[in-house]
Structure 1
């Protein structure tokens, strides 16, 4: 998937994510985590994705090569540094690493400056 050639406007992002919840518009990302890509540039460029975590799912340890912006739209997320309830916004700068998960399940918007580099496998 590449970036759209015109603006993408999602005036009710939380409602958009809720409407997607039970559709087939999600692709496997990691065990227990599915992705709905809003855009994804080629050649290690920026990307935006909605990630849907099943309860108890966790993503393997990875390092941020560029900035990652995370907004928890629904549910909860956590990592080695804290707990992030619905409505929480987190900025992970380049050079940081974590293995995020969700106890009760969540949907989060992630915007990557560059793709992450996985340190561990699932």
Structure 2
């Protein structure tokens, strides 16, 4: 993951996403890849683009801190609803869900703290 300067500016996030090469994405979960902007060690804050293949789903997890999610392309869903492109969702600490995408999507997620996957220590 590249180091960011003191400040970063992406004037058109969608153009940035569309310009990413396959090698710019890392495995995250089956059917889901990640492009990290930053990720603090020891479960600290992070900003990441997640790209879901059609039908992919992430295992249930609990939010230890706030998560802010902006769906950039496609659609995402979880136990509480479906979120088309342009949707902005805030998951407060203590909430749990298992997000997925029927048709595939790209979403920007900003974590206050890393999530805790249910069933893992």
Is the shorter-chain TM-score for this pair beyond 0.5, marking a shared fold? Answer: yes
Per the shorter chain, which TM-score range? over 0.9
Moved over 3 A (4+): none
Find the counterpart in structure 2 of residue 36 from structure 1: 35
Structure 2: give runs of 5+ residues left out of the alignment.
none
TM, length-normalised to structure 2 = 0.94
Shift of 1:4: 2.7
Partner SS for 1:24: helix
CA RMSD of aligned residues (A): 1.5
Could you list the per-position Cα deviations for residues 54-92 of structure 1 after superposition, in whole angstroms to 9, with x for gaps in the alignment? 000000000000000000000000000000000000000
Cα distance in 2 for residues equivalent to 1:49 and 1:93: 18
Q: CA deviation at 1:120?
A: 4.5
| C-alpha contact 1:71 1:90 (8 A) present in aligned 2 | yes
Counterpart CA distance in 2 for 1:44 and 1:3 is 17
CA distance in 1 between counterparts of 2:102 and 2:43 reads 30
Deviations 1:31-76 (A, max 9, x none): 0000000000112210000000000000000000000000000000
Matching of residues 14-29 of structure 1 within 5 Å? 14-20=14-20, 22-29=21-28
* 3-state SS of 2:17 partner: helix
Task: Please list every run of 5 or more consecutive structure 1 residues that lacks an aligned counterpart in the other structure.
Answer: none
| Alpha carbons 1:61, 1:97 under 8 Å: kept | yes
**TM-score normalised to the size of structure 1?**
0.93
Number of residue-to-residue matches in the alignment: 120
